Amino acid sequence: MDKNTLKGRSLLTWLDYSEEEIRYFLDLSKQVKEEKKRGELHQRFTGKTIALLFEKRSTRTRCAFETSIGEEGGHPVFLSTADIQLGEKESVEDTSRVLGRMFSAIQFRGFKQSTVETLAKFSGVPVYNGLTDNFHPTQVLADIMTIEENFGSSRGKKLCFVGDGRNNVARSLMVICAKLGVHFTIVTPPALMPDPALVKTCETLAAAAGSKILITADTAAVEGAHALYTDVWASMGEEAVKAERVKQLSPFQVNQDLMAKTGLKETIFLHCLPAIRGEEVTAAVIDGNQTRVWDEAENRKHTIKAIMLGTLGLA
């Protein structure tokens, strides 16, 4: 692959990238993680700046972007909705044009997918989707990296998401798994199944890559899963429906019984965090010996660094 084809590109969803390009980012992520372990110091982002736009609060996404670029000589600028007029007094289009003149790249974490798409269209610099209601692409690259650290190649492995099948993480996992040939199952109640159009798209991609997509309400479908994954039952902005979500999703809690249903002793547990122990996952699972959530959280940093290095032409 010619890595120059990545320079200047935005990351809004993995639907826009080929399997080969995603694999390049994964390999680069593993490289920069090894560099960090060896204590190597690099200054690849010297002279580069990134605008970090946040409508939603963040721990891992913000810290990963700030430390990744900052420790290599770049300068991150955090901008919340209290700091700028994003879509208020000033249109998103105009904000995009201004930031594109001042920064090397832009990260957006917020609600509407259309906002990050507009930033990418009008800014003229790479724009990274740090989370929208539709997709969370930087998260799932770290998830795949974590799976590969435990099982080698992710191709042909089975990843099962249990919980709200419509949320941004479940949707993004479905896309990246379909691209990479990972068997992917969503276990969710009928009312929370992902939109059929995206499922159909991913089924087509998965078939081409040699894997399968399954959407079901049957928890028995976790059998054979190398990784069980869950997320909070009510995402940011859905606090009003929390009681309804608890009622819908309580039968889908990831606990020791569900982990045992995979039939594999080596099954690992993943969670994008923050987690609510006693709701979507029990303390025994997330704090037990099958959990890999802390490796997964650390990998947010390495994968985000790799994405920026690749798209800024610095790798």
Annotated binding site for L-ornithine: 168, 231, 235-236
Active site includes 31?
no
Residue ranges for the binding site for carbamoyl phosphate?
Answer: 58-61, 85, 109, 136-139, 272-273, 300
Phi, psi of 186 (to 5 degrees): -110, 125
The active-site residue out of 109, 166, 183, 226 is: 109
Active site includes 75?
no
The active-site residue out of 136, 171, 292, 302 is: 136
**Peptide bond just before 274 cis, omega within 30 deg:** yes
User: SS3 of 21, please?
Assistant: helix
Residue 191 exposed, middle or buried by CB count within 10 Å (0-12, 13-18, 19+)? exposed
Q: How big is the chain, counted in residues?
A: 315
The active-site residue out of 107, 133, 139, 164 is: 139
Strands 183-187 and 105-109: unpaired
Active site includes 139?
yes
CA nearest to 54, candidates 123, 106, 11, 109:
109
The active-site residue out of 133, 143, 164, 231 is: 231
Q: Are 16 and 176 in contact (CB under 8 A)?
A: no
CA nearest to 213, candidates 198, 199, 227, 232:
199
The active-site residue out of 183, 272, 290, 292 is: 272
Residue that has been written with the tokens 């003149």 in this structure: 101
Q: Round to whole Å and give the CA distance between 63 and 48.
A: 17
Residue ranges for the binding site?
Answer: 58-61, 85, 109, 136-139, 168, 231, 235-236, 272-273, 300
Active site includes 143?
no
Active site includes 272?
yes
Cα angle, residue 199 at apex, residues 208 and 232 outer, rounded to 5°: 120
Active site includes 27?
no
Q: Are 188 and 163 in contact (CB under 8 A)?
A: yes
Return the DSSP state at 76. E
The active-site residue out of 166, 245, 292, 300 is: 300
CA nearest to 144, candidates 311, 308, 295, 312:
295
Residue 141 exposed, middle or buried by CB count within 10 Å (0-12, 13-18, 19+)? buried
The residues annotated as belonging to the active site are 109, 136, 139, 231, 272, 300
